[in-house]
Amino acid sequence: MAEKSIQWFKFASPARFYDLTGRLVWGFGILAAVLFVVGLYMGFVLAPPDYQQGNSYRIIFIHVPSAWMAMFLYVVMAIYAAVGLIWRIKTAEIMAKAIAPTGALMAFLALWTGAVWGKPTWGAFWVWDARLTSSLILFFMYLGFIALHAAIEDRQRAANASAVLALVGIINVPIIYFSVHWWNTLHQGATIKATSAPSMAAIMFFTVIVMVFAYWMYSIAAVLARARLELLEREKHAAWVSERLNLPRTKETPHA
């Protein structure tokens, strides 16, 4: 059991992490592109209009996956931040920092598409609904995490402060999810539940699932690509960076 743990922890090494992620970025990126093409074709060509909302409902194929990913990525970011805070694992700190911009993008897409959907449905682009307000707070938490990293020059202090913020903000994720049950909100409840059949046509359901996987693959590819760049910046004087990039060694580059 100990040997297996060592095998997993070896990927925390910056050089091994860089090598592994380099093989994964392209694969996840290609999968994301294929799934986006398939999902958008299913959603905007094959899926029929909704009997109540007509064609305006199609925004859910962008809105729902982005909202799910915004919450999921925040939890993953907080976990990585906690690992970096507690065990001082550099790659965990880098992953937390790399996730934040993608999570912020997903939160923004969820808010923007929600506003587009809300205008024909509620008659307004924005209402101070519990689900919408807590989602806006999530977006601001992402921005705060990014801002802390940018504002504090010392990387370790920046990582520690950002980790604390991420862990405090994680309480907002279940609030977003359960807000439609805890308060009387305009936002509709979940149409896809693990405990019951989805309350939508099969083609609509499978389109949402395809788009969720597309967003997931994209997020993994984007985060890993950003993490690799951050790692190169932090380790630019390390010998393994010169070896991987075929750079000539300088006197300032320490030997491994």
Summarised one tens digit per residue, pLDDT across range 171-210 is: 999 999 998 888 777 676 666 654 555 668 899 999 999 9
State the pLDDT at residue 253. 46
* Residue 187 CB coordination number (10 Å): 17
The structure's pTM equals 0.89
State the pLDDT at residue 177. 92
State the pLDDT at residue 7. 47
State the pLDDT at residue 186. 64
State the pLDDT at residue 242. 87
pLDDT lower than 70: segments of the chain: 1-12, 186, 188-199, 249-256
Gyration radius of the chain's alpha carbons: 21
Q: Which residues pair with 196 in a beta bridge?
A: 193
State the pLDDT at residue 191. 61
Q: Where are the domains of the chain?
A: 21-48+58-224
CA distance 161 to 156: 9
* Residue 158 CB coordination number (10 Å): 17
